[in-house]
Structure 1
Amino acid sequence: MLSIVKGPYLQWPTIASMTMMWETSEPAASRVEVFIAERIHSGYQGNYKKPEHLMTIVSNESHTVIHQLTVTNLEAGTTYFYLVFSENEHGERVQSGPYPFNSAAPKGQPCSFTVTSETGGYSGFDSTHGQINTNIFKQMQRYRPDFTLFVGDLVNDGRKYEDWGTYFFEPGKDYLTNTPFYSCLGNHECNASWYYDFFAFAPPKNYYSFDYGDIHFICLDSTDFIKPDQYPHAAGEIRPGQAQYDFLIRDLQSTSAKWKIVFFHYPPYVSGGYQVEDMRQLCPIMEKYGVDIVFNSHTIVYERSHPIRSNEIDYEDGIVYIVAGGAGAMPEWLLPKRSWHTSQSLAVPHFVQVVAVEDNLEIRAIDEEGRLFDSARIRKSANGQKSFF
């Protein structure tokens, strides 16, 4: 019998569009219906009137297993609802929804997002058999973020089809229906084809950039800079002429966004095991073009650095490095004592919430039971001068 086995889930939000994806148990035709509703004091989901039909998007492909449809002509920062439908060649039909979604916030509007990782990278150590993953998704839902960054290792072995369901899509199935997400490649993804099949990131998908509100985000593939057979050394891969190295420079040169955030898997700074110091070769570029935060993972702990510039603490122009090795905790991976660059560090299952509002970035680290255990704030003046709190 025809069924939906993954999703639906949301991808690549812009101020005017959203992409819906899902996987069916067998090839099928697909469509998405979008609805809009006015907000009232009480009524349909989230205090909205019963939605009115806005548009129908039909797939150009007659029958496929992984479905990807993009709705366009949306209004920025607006709430919509969507339904997905699939029908196989025998006339069997399946649908899912309605689910709410928001088009992306425009420039000048506050936004929030969450960050976590290691839903699959921790699996070999997880005695809870995935309950931590489920807990993290539930806690993130409480904070109603606009989107989520996953900093790699979504699965245990990206070459195994079943891992994508076990460690990511199943634990996150309710959350992902209404919260779009982005991810970078971790070493556990193994650069497998499933990563490219399941996600609708901008080509070439292992590195890309996007804007949301007043923030410019850059995703990099550290597993491309540091090949598996050379780990933990870059062996000459971080250099001019290398595709994503040149992309990073061009992209940073081209943006005038108030905030700049970069995320990739291998951490340049962490006072624990699996620090990958060769990734520091990117730091002068990020410093030159005013990057504010770098998110990493790989070491399955939480760690926030002091602001760093030129490999020294700098409270005027430094970058804050945050290891959000979230859906897992490995206390034994921490060094006996903190390194010079560490501001706060704790090995507990967690996620990070970031709120961008006016001239402030608010950063909060929250554990799987909803307890706040670290917070920080970056303030930026009109001339770009940063203050750290």
Structure 2
Amino acid sequence: MLRTTLACALAVGASLAALPASAHKGPDPLARWVFNNDAVNGRTCKAVIGPDARIEGGAEVVADGLGESLHFSGRGSMVVVADDLLAVKDKLPSRAMTVSAWVSIEKPQEFGGLFGVLQDNGGAETGWLLGYDREHFYFALATDGADDGDGQMTYLRGSARHERGRWAHVVAVYDGETMELYVNGELDGSSDAQSGDILYPEHAAVTIGGYRDDNENYPHAGSVREVAVYDSAATGAWVEHEFSHRKNLVALRPERTRPPGRADAFNFLVRPYLQYGTKHEMTVMCQTTTPGTTVVHYGPTADCELSESSDNLNEIQEVTLSGLDPETQYFYRVESQSDTGETVLSDVSTFATAVNDDTPFAFAVFGDTQWNAVVAARVASHAWAQRPSFLLHAGDLVDTGTNDSHWTQHFFPSMHELISRVPLFPVLGNHEQDAENYYQYMSLPDPEHYYSFRYGCAEFFMIDSNRNVGADSEQYAWLDRQLDQSTAKWKIVCHHHPPYSSDENDYGDLWKTNQSTRGAERVRPLTQLYDAHGVDIVWNGHIHSYERTWPVRDGKAVEAGAGPVYMITGGAGGGLETPAPTRSFFQNVVRRGHHYVMVHVNGDTLEMRSFDIDDRMFDTLTIQKPTAKTAD
């Protein structure tokens, strides 16, 4: 998203300035929803006034010490007032407006939404939204007066910090000239960047408990007690008066009671999986539905008589097992406990520590699992059947990195059969959006967006190609040093964007013109390091097809052993792409179709075998290191 205008919050004192004469002192709202058991019936919320709303996903009425509210899980839950604003246009303000809401936030996010209707896609910015970011509430608005042709939105961010789990009364006010944001009865920021009538999108959903437009969907994690929208601008006195009715909510402890009849809610949201395995360590991670502590029981038999624990109370939990023996099979199971004493216990699973330099091993490679959990699960199952030592993932693990449900409902369920038994070594793709979710779910060496690891006689260098990788960049300098210092027999690099690609249109539409960069020029400076330091294979994703190049050196195809082979393996789930109509100089094998790759390493020999979605092998490659000659 392009944030072309950002209004800074203006600090205010104790006095509140009144708005112009158009401000209301308490007229009926255009629409109002109060979320309690009287209003909510199944998947429908009956409005106090205005249109009834539809409840999606795991939103449910919960109780606290002062009443009831609708709790949003953050995993696809949302309230939809209308799938398209045209259906409720008469219930939306046209110029002056006030939006009032009682809300709590359990998981801050960069673009959290509470109530609104908007499109914010690149330079096209229309509509309005009451929302929050990782620290503050905001009021987003686009109007005719600031229209630059396709709309320009102001994100008015307040200065008061929201507290996790605490109730807050948040009010957005616009009188046709001035935007104001109030938090708990006090003015928290104002802006005159917008003026005139509200500029609405041609189409957009009207939602409560989420930020949704055509290309983004960020569900709210927290609770909403009530929401109202008016077609006039409130005065500061009115906002203060509204807050006073329920100001005791602000002091309420951040807890909630499960609704009657609900089954035990404490469970694994993400079942245990493995991260960053070495010869002597393995990291076990999981996520529970509410914060808890975790014990990992493990050992050389299924009795799992040893244990390691983490006392940190978190939803996403991480325990590193240390002091392990190399190339050894272990058994493990995870036990998590909530702060109220509820427990959940996983099934027994297995893992193996990394091998010594002289022991053969194998690993699976795929990328771009994205949204397609069905295909990803098939690929993972086929790969697991071949018993790899670990999984190398070339990025785009999910479709939208900021969307919790894409991790909890797409990626981890589809990968469970594989990554519950072998460690996952990923790189960031563009679809991860550098989201906090990635860094929460992954446990990798600092700074996590780039790192290296040694496995057997190979060393792997994992690069974030979303960031700068030019010759003057931090990653370039780091990679230059690491490759120079590496003593591994095999040097393998992985990053999401391919320096060389035969794709039909990602780098120039080769069905309409003969002009194409045939790969991401932005990452091509890295190839100088690969040539200089004898890199053997470079793994990429991004293009949703399969490609194996000839060895390439100095931008030219060369004979076997004279340069690195570039591999695109972006076929583990994303929508498929097609090669260009003419052959690239570097092209050896291209194929449209979902797939995965197995790599087998034994000393001087590396064998690569590629399989389609039906587990049929369609490509092979053997690379043989030259045998050192002995003196006569």
* Length-normalised TM-score, structure 2: 0.54
- 2:403 aligns with 160
Deviation of 1:96 (Å): 0.3
- 1:46 aligns with none
- 2:462 aligns with 219
Q: Is the CA contact 1:301–1:325 (under 8 Å) kept in the aligned structure 2?
A: yes
Q: Is the CA contact 2:546–2:591 (under 8 Å) kept in the aligned structure 1?
A: yes
Structure 1 residues 203-352: aligned runs within 5 Å: 203-225=446-468, 238-240=470-472, 242-272=473-503, 273-274=505-506, 275-315=519-559, 316-328=561-573, 332-352=577-597
One-letter code aligned to 1:162: S
Residue 17 (structure 2) pairs with residue 17 (structure 1): no
Helix, strand or coil for the counterpart of 1:182?
strand
Indicate how the Cα distance of structure 1 residues 195 and 298 shifts in structure 2: closer, same or farther if over 3 A, else same. same
Residue 80 (structure 2) pairs with residue 80 (structure 1): no
Distance 1:97 1:74 in 2: 21
Q: Is the CA contact 2:369–2:574 (under 8 Å) kept in the aligned structure 1?
A: no
One-letter code aligned to 1:269: Y
Q: 1:143 aligns with which of 379, 386, 393?
A: 386
Deviation of 1:334 (Å): 1.5
Deviation of 1:337 (Å): 2.3
Structure 1 residues 109-124: aligned runs within 5 Å: 109-120=359-370, 123=371
Deviation by residue 1:318-356 (Cα, 9 ceiling, x = unmatched): 110000012147665310122110110101100011000
Distance 2:550 2:307 in 1: 49
Residue 398 (structure 2) pairs with residue 134 (structure 1): no
Indicate how the Cα distance of structure 1 residues 332 and 95 shifts in structure 2: closer, same or farther if over 3 A, else same. closer
Distance 1:304 1:350 in 2: 13
Distance 2:600 2:448 in 1: 26
Q: 2:321 aligns with which of 64, 71, 79?
A: 71
Deviation by residue 1:130-184 (Cα, 9 ceiling, x = unmatched): 3211211111111110001110111111011111123310111222210111111
Q: Is the CA contact 2:368–2:574 (under 8 Å) kept in the aligned structure 1?
A: no
Distance 1:292 1:221 in 2: 19
* Length-normalised TM-score, structure 1: 0.87
One-letter code aligned to 1:267: P
Helix, strand or coil for the counterpart of 1:167?
helix
Q: Is the CA contact 1:307–1:313 (under 8 Å) kept in the aligned structure 2?
A: yes
How many residue pairs were aligned?
Answer: 351
Q: 1:174 aligns with which of 417, 430, 439?
A: 417
List alignment gaps of at least 5 residues for structure 2.
Answer: 1-264, 507-518
Distance 2:528 2:486 in 1: 17
One-letter code aligned to 2:427: C
Deviation by residue 1:247-302 (Cα, 9 ceiling, x = unmatched): 10111111110000000001011111332123221111111111000000111000
Q: Is the CA contact 2:548–2:588 (under 8 Å) kept in the aligned structure 1?
A: yes
Helix, strand or coil for the counterpart of 2:377?
helix
- 1:3 aligns with 267
Q: Is the CA contact 1:186–1:298 (under 8 Å) kept in the aligned structure 2?
A: yes
Helix, strand or coil for the counterpart of 2:376?
helix
Q: Is the CA contact 1:154–1:167 (under 8 Å) kept in the aligned structure 2?
A: no
One-letter code aligned to 2:430: N
Distance 2:311 2:576 in 1: 50
- More displaced stretch, 328-337 vs 177-186: 328-337
Q: Is the CA contact 1:30–1:67 (under 8 Å) kept in the aligned structure 2?
A: yes
Where in structure 1 do 4 or more consecutive aligned residues deviate above 6 Å? none
Helix, strand or coil for the counterpart of 2:491?
strand
CA RMSD in angstroms comes to 1.5
Indicate how the Cα distance of structure 1 residues 23 and 322 shifts in structure 2: closer, same or farther if over 3 A, else same. same
Identical aligned residues as a percent: 33
Higher RCO (CA < 8 A, seq sep 6+): 1
Q: Is the CA contact 1:99–1:177 (under 8 Å) kept in the aligned structure 2?
A: yes
One-letter code aligned to 2:496: H
Distance 1:96 1:324 in 2: 32
- 1:57 aligns with 308
Deviation of 1:7 (Å): 2.1
Helix, strand or coil for the counterpart of 2:488?
coil
Helix, strand or coil for the counterpart of 1:223?
coil
Deviation of 1:97 (Å): 2.1
Indicate how the Cα distance of structure 1 residues 330 and 339 shifts in structure 2: closer, same or farther if over 3 A, else same. farther
Distance 2:577 2:366 in 1: 20
